[in-house]
Structures are given as C-alpha cells and as structure tokens.
Structure 1
C-alpha cells in the first residue's frame, strides 16, 4: 500500500510539473527535455511498481526487464539534459554517438535476452519478485555508472563555464543536486543493494528517489526562476492544497453523517438533501479557503510580487503631470524602491550632450555619487536593461561587471530617447541597488524596467526642454528689460531731437513762407502781363516757375500743419466754401503741367451742390494733392478724371487716373505719416510722404470721409465726401 501511495504522489507531482514546464515555454528544447525526463520518471515508477504486482511468470519477467531498461533511459535522459541545461555549451558529439550505441545494445540485451535478467522468483512470504541476474548484469550497472559520471562531468564543466551568469549557476547547482540525489537513490535502492543482498524487496521504494528531484527543482523554480514558472507552480500548489483540505474536511464530516443516517434508517429524500447541503458547504468554502492560501503563499513566495500595469499606470500619471525634473525623478525613484524592495536608486540624466552636462539624482539611503566607466554602452547590445548578476565572467563584460559590483550596482537601465533620422539619443541611466531580500531581479522586473526606460526617457527629455525654455524666457526677459531701459534712454534723446527738429521745421517754414509768397505774387503779376506782353517761351518758363513755387507753398503748408498737429495747434477754420469753384481753380493751375506730360484732364461737376463750411486753405491743399498725384503717377498720355457730384445727401469729390496704381500690400499703410509705396518712390523720388497723411487729417477734422480704391498697374481713385446737411452754412 505504501509503494502505491508513493507512486500516485510522485506521478501526480511529476506529471503536473512536466506539463507546466512544457506548456509554459514549450518552444525551448530545455523545457521539452525536462518534460521527457518527468515522463521517463513516471514510466519507471509505474514499471517498478508493476514488478511486484503483476501475476504470471512471463509478465513478471518482462516487467522487471522493462523496469531496468526504462531506468537506464531515465539515466540517459538526465545525462542528455545535462548537455543542454541551463544552456548548450558545446556539441558533445562523441557522447551522443556512444549513447546511441549503448542504448540499442542494452535494449536488445535487457528485453530480448537473459544476459541482464536471467529469471525471476516470486517470494510469497515477502509478496515480491526477486530477480536472478544474468552474467552481463554488471555491464548494465557499469554503463549506468559511466553515464552517471558523464552526467556529473557535464554539470561540473557547465557550472564552471564563463558564459554562465550567477543566476544560471544557482539554477544548475540545485537542479543538478536534485538529479544526482535521485540517481544515487534509484541506483542504490533499485539495483546495487538488491543485487548485493539478493533481496529485491527494497526496490519497491526506488521511485521515492524522484521526490529528491521534485524537491530541488521546485526550490530552484521558486528561488531562482528556473523555467520562469514560479507563479504557475505556486498557484497550482495553492489549488491542490485547497482542494485536498476541502476533500479531507468533506470526507471527515460526510462519512460519519452517512453512517448515522444508514443506522437511523432515514429515507432517501433526507439523505439527498444532506448530500446537497454538504456539497453546498464545500462550494461556498472553496473561495475563502483559496484566498487564505493565496495570502499565505504571497507572504512567503511573492513578497516582491506586484502588478506591472498598476505600477506603470501610477508612474505614467506622475510623468504626465510633472513640470519639475528633480521632483519627478524623486517620486519615480520612490515608487521603484517600494515596488522592487531595493535600498536605493539613482538617475543620471544627460542634460546637454554637446557640453556633457549631466544631472545626478539619488533616491534612498545616502550614497556617494556613482560614475559610470567608459564603454558602459557595450553591455546593452540592443537591450535597455542590464542585470549585473547575469553578465558573463569573461572579456569586457567581466571587467565592467567587477566595476559595477564594486559600486553596488545591481541593475543598469538605459533611458532611450525618441529615434530621429535613424539615431536614438541616450538620455541617461537608472541605477538600482540589490534587493533587500537578497533575491535576484525577475523577468517581471526586467519587463517593467524595459517599458519604463522609454517612457521616462521621453518625459525627462520633455522636462529638460521645458527647463531650457523657462531659463531662456528668464534670460530673454532680462535682456528685454535691459534693452527696454536702453530704448527708453534713446527714445528720450530722440524725442528731444524730434522736438528740436519740429522747432526748426516750424521756424524754417515760417521764414520760407514770406519770401515764397512774394515770389509767387510777382510771378503771377508777370504772367498776367502787368510788366508787358510775354513771348511764348518766356511764358512757358514762368509757368513752370510758378507751379514749382506753388508746390513749395503746399509743402511748407504741410510741414506747418504737421508741426501744429504735434503741438496741438492744428485748427480747422470753417467758412462758406464753393467746392466747384475751388476745384476749377486748382485744375486751371495745373493745366500747363498736365499738357506738358500729355495728360487729358476732364472735370464733371454738379452745379447744384451748395457752399459748405470748410477750411478753404486746407481743403484746397487736399484737392491739389490728389490732382497733383494723379498727374505725376500716371505715365505720359494718361487720362485723369475729376468728379464733383451729389449722391444720397453727400457732396462727393473724386480724382481717378489710369496710372501706376497702388500694390495691395502697400494700401493699408498708404495714409501713414512719411509712408510711400514702392512704385511711387521709383516714379517720384522727391516725394515726402506727407500729402496723403495730411489729407486724411484734414478730411477727418472737417467731419468727412476719405475715399480710396486702387489696382496696381491699372490706376487709382482718391477723394472725399461730406454730408451736405451737416456742413451747410447756418
């Protein structure tokens, strides 16, 4: 009965372990080999059990032969696993060829001859079958011992290999111990001791040896992440324990109740109800009991367990709302400390890759500032997370590993920035110390840190740029403030110069106006024939002189008006004014100039327009400016039309030409002081840019509206309009 219980337990545990490993990462050869090993162990246990429980001589003989052969295959599977565990070191081609030859030979000798097992004898008093060994039985033992030696040799050479990291060394240490203890137990209990004592009763406990393998490999899974199935194994164990406890409790309660019901001769209906109640209690109790075992296993096996998504979500929230780089890194460092259960962590942020300026942030216990050696990037090779324990003990990695261990660095995470033009900028590193528990960093830790590396790199880069912008704004504000002070000083000087200029312009204009008036008056008298009849040539020259004098008078008037505007002395003096007569007089004055340029000037007038209260001198100046501009900005042979019309209660004056027009980009600024359009400067370089500005000032002051439309290359229309009712003389 004991050997059956042992068989059932080992079969269940080995089967569960093998299926879990192969279903978790079935694509890896090592996982497949381990699954084969567990299958061989189960088959050998069944064969070993059947040697003492089958009937009939032939069946007993075959069961013992099969048990020995499967036992040899189990040893060979262990040996084959030693070649590839924890990773393949070299080919071992000779071993594999010898293994194939020996396996075939032993298959033939064991199953089809009596050279290994000669016969069997059933001993009724012991209820076992004794084996009568053949003359080559010790050849079988020797072959098994040789493969055991190769197994030990492979594990030893693999353990000493430089390619392995410390975590893999721990895995191979405990897994090999489990396999070796199992092998020794099986060989001693199932073969050596029975053959020496000629008593095979002890062989039925051979399958107990497989429990050594289960114990050591389970420890390696939980402690050193063997096959990366810790969570699956532990949670499976929880379900098994929960179910076992409930079944035990259910059996302990239900059996006495059933016996009582039978003795009390209770009906079938009552028995059924009782069964349903008990099953209900079983179902209701399962989940609370499972939660209890979950808490227990979490406490002892998953102290460092955490939800990756929840941690990353919390960190992402911090990254999205942070505006200060130091505070953000301290908060993220605090979460990493709490989540990974480490002593401290630090951040090295490359703020300026050109100048080499870095920022170092330490979170946790006070430690000296860590500096990373040259060539540290060689450790990453396309990955973002380097676990120092997993570095190789050879070459450059060995040297860097020694330095990192000396600096108490357990994990190094590269902060990879955004890829631009095929190049990824390194934003810095995260440095993590060892865990407080002394455990290594898991695949879950590595995955979480790998995701975090990209997110934190982008956030750090953004905040570095934000800091640059803030500092730039502060610097710019200081420069603007300084420049403003300088501008105020210069502006004050300019204002003083401008006032001096205005005073000079005002004084010069007054001084020039008197002689120009005299010159204009004398020229007018000569042209009117007061000094005698003029020859045509003389009249032409004097007309030109008179027009130039008139322009000078208007220019001086503009300068005086501009000066008055600045000093607040610009005053409109309204008086009854006949617009038609005023316009005709101005046209008459420029007729000769228009003819000399080949222009045709026409005037269309509505005689019903009444006199209006306007400033005669200033309005005349505006009219002359519009007509004068039409003449000078229209190419020779142009057409100039002057209109004075009444429409909708308004007196409207317009001057239209087919001249050079005004470009669209110049039209908004055309009436600004001293502004001149580009094509106007080319056509008439001597202009001042005051005529239209003063025209707008005058028309606005008189309560009128300025009219303007133009298209470059096709001509312009300038004018004004006045509300007749508002400006009628009272």
Structure 2
C-alpha cells in the first residue's frame, strides 16, 4: 500500500510539469501541445494505477483499469507526435488524426465490458485480458514508441550539437523501456504483481525532462523552473532550520514552557527567519545559476562587449563579420551572418566562417518581415520555412530604420537547444544599435565608393585633358611655324612694294599729280601697317619658341616718340584727328630695345587713331616721374567694357565693341606690347571707360646710359 503512493506522486509531478509547459512554455518546434498530452497521459496512467492498487471496490477497480489502459496507449501516441515534431518532422492534421485512429478504436474496445478486459480480480490485483486484442494493443504501442525513439535518436546522434536531445532520448528510452516491461510485457503473461513499479519510471521521466528544461532550455521555461527551485530550496531550508531550532529550544533547553513564552519564542524565530530569507535566497540563486546557467551569458557583459565591437571599425564587411562572430559565440549558434541591402538594389553579406549564402531573391521573400521569426513561427509561409531549413537558419531578425527594412540578422541552429525568449528579447534590445552602426558603416562605404568613382573619373578626365593638351600643343606649334614662315615670306615682297612706292612718290619715274601722291601715300601707309603686323606676328612666334630677344642700347625716348607721332600725323589727319604732343626736355637716354619700344608706341597711337571719334584730339604724353619715365596715349574713343578689361592684354583677344569698329584687327598688338614692356622690367598703364575713351601706355625704370 505504501508503494502505491509513489506512482500517485509521480503522476502528480507529470501533471504539474505538463501544466507549467502549457501555461508558460514556448512552442519549441511545434511540440508544446504534444508534450502536454504526453505528460498528461503519463500522469493519468500513473495516478489510476495507484488508485487501482488502493481501491477495494470491484466496479471502481474495473473502471480504473480501463482508464489506465486507455491512457497507456495515449502515451504511445502522444510520444510519437512529440518526438516527430521535436525532431523537425512536420505532421499534417490528416496524419495526426490517422495515427490517433487505432487508439480511438481500441479505447472503444477497452470501455466495452468483457471485450478487451475479461475480468478484474480486486483482491489479488490481477486482470484478465483478451489475448488477441492485447497483442494488437501491444504491437501498436511498441510501433509508435519505436518510431518516436528512432527519429529522436537519429536527430540526436547526427547533430554534433545535440547533447540535450541525446540526454532526453536516452532518458525517455529507459523510462518507456521500464514501464513497458512491468506494465506491458509482464501483464501479457498474466503477472500483475509488479505493475506498481512501472509508473515509478515516470519519476525518471520527470527528472530527465526537468533536467532538459533546467540545463538546455527545453520549452523555454528554464528561468521559471530555476526560480521555483530557488524558492522551494530557500523555504525548505528555513522550515528545516525552524523545526530544528524550535525542537532544541522547547525540548532540550527550556523543557515545558508557558504559552506566552512559546508565543514570544515563535515570534522571535519567525522574525529571525524573515531576516534570513533574503540572504538564503541569494545563496540559492548563486547555487542554481552556477548549476543551470554555467553555459549562459550575462546580458550586461554582452551589451558592453557589443558596444566595443560596434565602434571598432567603419569598414562594413569587417563590422558585419565581427558582430556575427560575437552573436554566434554568445547565443551558441552554429552559424551567424548579417544581410544588408544597398542603394543600388544589391546587398552585402558577411558572417562567421562557412556561413550560408542567402541569395537576393530569397531575401526578397521576407521583405515584409517586422518581427523575429523561427522556422516554426505560424506567421511565415511554407516558402519561407523551406528557405530557412535549406539554409540552416533557425532565427531571422529584421533590421528596421524608420519603417524601412535595411537587412537581417540570421542565426543558425542552436548548438545545445533552441533560442529562448530571453535570447530574442536581448536581440530586440540590440537591434537599434546594430541599425545605427550599420547605417554609419554604409554611409562611410558610400563615401569611399563615391571617392573611388570620382578618382576614376578624374583620372580618365586628366588623361583625356593631357591627350587634348598634347594635340593642342602640336596644333599651336604648327600654327606658330606657319605664322613664322608666312611672315618671313610676306616680308620680302612688302619691302619691295614699299621701296617702289617711295621711288614713285619721290619722282624717280616722273612727275606725279597731287591726287596720285595722296593715293600713293595711302598705299605706303597700308604697306607700313602690313610690315608692322608681320613684325608683330614674328615677335609672337619668337615668344612662343623662346627666341624673343631684347637688344638694349641707349635711346632718346622723347625723340623716338616725336618721330612716331610725326610719322602717324598724316594718318591721323586722314581720319580728321590730331595728335597733341609736347616733347619734354628732361628725359634722359634710357637703355631700350628701340625697335620693339617703337612698335609699342606705334601700336598705342595707331589704335587711338582707329578707335577715336572724328574731329577729336589724341593726347600723347611723356614725363619723368621719380626714377621712372611714363608714356601715355589718351583718346576719346569707344573705350573698353568693364567686363572685358581683364582679358585685354591676352593673346588674340579683342573687345566686343572693337571687333565691330575694326573687324580686321588681329588681337596681337596689345599682347605683344605687354610682353615688350615686361621684358624691360616695366609696367603697362591702362585706364578706360566705355563710350568715353581710354588711356594706354607704359612706365619704364630709368637706367641712364
């Protein structure tokens, strides 16, 4: 009779375990409900065997026998469904119902009096069964249990990280083997004397499942279980202390005491134990944590270490790899990698060594993901579930910034168990930090890519510019060569033309009329301008080729200016203009290249003639200012626009209004004038106001000859 209590206690423990898993347990691999059914069936089976061993009423005994035989076959069915689902086998509803059909049929036979159970002897606790039905019953039981254990064993011993599954498989095998021997095999031969020992193996089953819960997080109720154990141990310890101390005080020290004394002592003991509860609880907290969380992790330590990793580099691939290794080590994942979308409809993926390569089209399948998912999550489609299984991904966490998905954190199978709610809570906590770090690294990567792209474009543009510049230099050299050659070739015939015109004007070939002389003078001046123009082109060519030489010697600059003004007086008169020049007497001789300075003076004066208004005066000045001499030509002509004055002395440039006034200009006169003045260490003088006139000239240092 005393032994009959143990199956009852074992059954109660099975009920409690099933209830706890039902209320707070996670649906690990869709096996929660099948385990609850398994634990409940074991509980019913053990309790009613205990009741059968205790009961004296024959009718009640027959009912109890029927119930525990129905429950025993339900144990086999529940174990089959639990083991298959926990091993990763997806059972359809039709398959589950079909597997339940033999139980339903045999249960009908069991409850019908005299059909499965022939008779029950309540005195000596024996049961007579119809052998044919019992053989079928036993065969179904053995078949279901064998299939379940076989799948669990295959899953456990194939997986190098399946330690928890191996432990659970071995424990359940021993439990079912012992129960089957005492409650299935021996009754087959009519021996019911030892059936009470069968349910005792449920103690072993309860212990093994509790071990899996506490050690490996089965059904994700380890925290609740460990805390319950802590409180039970704390309260049991304090109760034991109370009993021992009270016994010693009341029986060994004080003997018989009054009621008031007993009350005071009890109050004192109670208060003392109340103060001791917290230290005792802390002690058992540390003890249970060291036993059950030896392979666990501290969330605070993980956060601190992760912050260091997130700030360790801005290289995106390196950052993703470091984060993945840390996640794999912390959460004991077989693999870990992070998948990040990029702006160009591409992606970057990096993780632990030999991690799965998630194709872009597979990543698009979960683009609408907003929560952490597992392969057994009810919210995912069959396509996504197959994708996760094929890539050996056990958890996917989306990385979202401002309602925009930027990527995923993917973890492989857990090495010892499954990912707990605590694991998922920790992952959600770090999601925002990961997003910020990845966004920063992406920005840096985009800047690097942009810089690399710009460098490539700059290199290509530079190469193209160098090629174009080389071609332009060749063209410029060809142009300079042509100008030099053409100038030399034109100079000889023009000199001859000037000579012949001069001879005709001097009367060497006969007397000429006044009109003829006027025409000849115009032709002579035009030929002189042509000679000067050719001389300018030759000087420009010499500047380009480095052959521009300044040949200085003492020159009377005042006399030179007077000669040029006199030479151009007739040309000015032809345009109804007049030069005003007063030759100064205090200008010393200066070291100059006479021909080149003469060209500059003539260029300034000639421009004044062409761009001045008719019936106006052109003021030519020469003055000694300190240790410099200043030459100026001031007209009242068209002037130079302010926006174009900065380019006036560059090669071939002509102001807009000058091109309209004199289309045949070349734009080399002022350029050459500046080069000549610069070669004499001088400075160009220039002032202009559009529509009112201009002043051109130069200042040269006085170095007396």
TM-score range, shorter chain: 0.5 to 0.7
Deviations 1:270-291 (A, max 9, x none): 7445423422322134335423
- 1:556 and 2:538 aligned: no
Counterpart-to-counterpart distance in 1, 2:556 and 2:262: 129
Partner of 1:692: 670
Q: How does 1:184-263 map to 2 (within 5 A)?
A: 184-190=177-183, 193=186, 199=192, 202-214=194-206, 229=217, 232=220, 235=223, 238-259=226-247
Counterpart-to-counterpart distance in 2, 1:131 and 1:641: 149
Deviations 1:304-353 (A, max 9, x none): 99977666655554443799x9xx999999989998999xxxxxxxxxxx
Counterpart-to-counterpart distance in 2, 1:524 and 1:278: 144
Counterpart-to-counterpart distance in 2, 1:205 and 1:566: 124
Distance 1:210 1:159, change over 3 A: closer
Q: How does 1:269-280 map to 2 (within 5 A)?
A: 271-272=266-267, 274-280=269-275
Counterpart-to-counterpart distance in 2, 1:173 and 1:606: 120
Post-superposition shift, 1:74? 1.7
Counterpart-to-counterpart distance in 1, 2:615 and 2:47: 122
Counterpart-to-counterpart distance in 2, 1:56 and 1:65: 14
Q: Secondary structure at the match of 2:314?
A: helix
Distance 1:329 1:538, change over 3 A: same
Distance 1:101 1:322, change over 3 A: closer
Counterpart-to-counterpart distance in 2, 1:17 and 1:570: 117
Q: Secondary structure at the match of 1:320?
A: coil
Post-superposition shift, 1:689? 5.1
Counterpart-to-counterpart distance in 1, 2:649 and 2:154: 91
Distance 1:535 1:551, change over 3 A: same
- 1:183 and 2:183 aligned: no
Counterpart-to-counterpart distance in 2, 1:13 and 1:306: 36
Q: TM-score, normalised by structure 1?
A: 0.54
Distance 1:119 1:336, change over 3 A: closer
Contact 2:617–2:635 (8 Å) recurs in 1 = yes
Distance 1:683 1:318, change over 3 A: farther
Distance 1:695 1:295, change over 3 A: farther
Counterpart-to-counterpart distance in 1, 2:268 and 2:586: 118
Contact 2:7–2:46 (8 Å) recurs in 1 = no
- 1:295 and 2:290 aligned: yes
Q: Which runs of 5+ in 1 are unaligned?
A: 124-129, 343-361, 364-369, 384-409, 412-431, 492-496, 595-600, 632-637
Q: Secondary structure at the match of 1:706?
A: strand
Partner of 1:547: 526
Distance 1:268 1:566, change over 3 A: farther
Contact 1:116–1:140 (8 Å) recurs in 2 = yes
Q: Secondary structure at the match of 2:88?
A: coil
Partner of 1:113: 113
Q: Quick one: which of 313, 320, 324 aligns to 2:314?
A: 320
- 1:144 and 2:124 aligned: no
Q: Secondary structure at the match of 2:199?
A: helix
Partner of 1:286: 281
Contact 1:625–1:692 (8 Å) recurs in 2 = no
Counterpart-to-counterpart distance in 2, 1:50 and 1:625: 137
Post-superposition shift, 1:181? 3.3
Q: Secondary structure at the match of 1:210?
A: helix
Partner of 2:80: 79
Figure out how many residues of one structure are paired with residues of the other and give that number: 576
Q: Secondary structure at the match of 2:237?
A: helix
Distance 1:180 1:522, change over 3 A: same
Counterpart-to-counterpart distance in 1, 2:296 and 2:109: 50
Q: Secondary structure at the match of 2:31?
A: helix
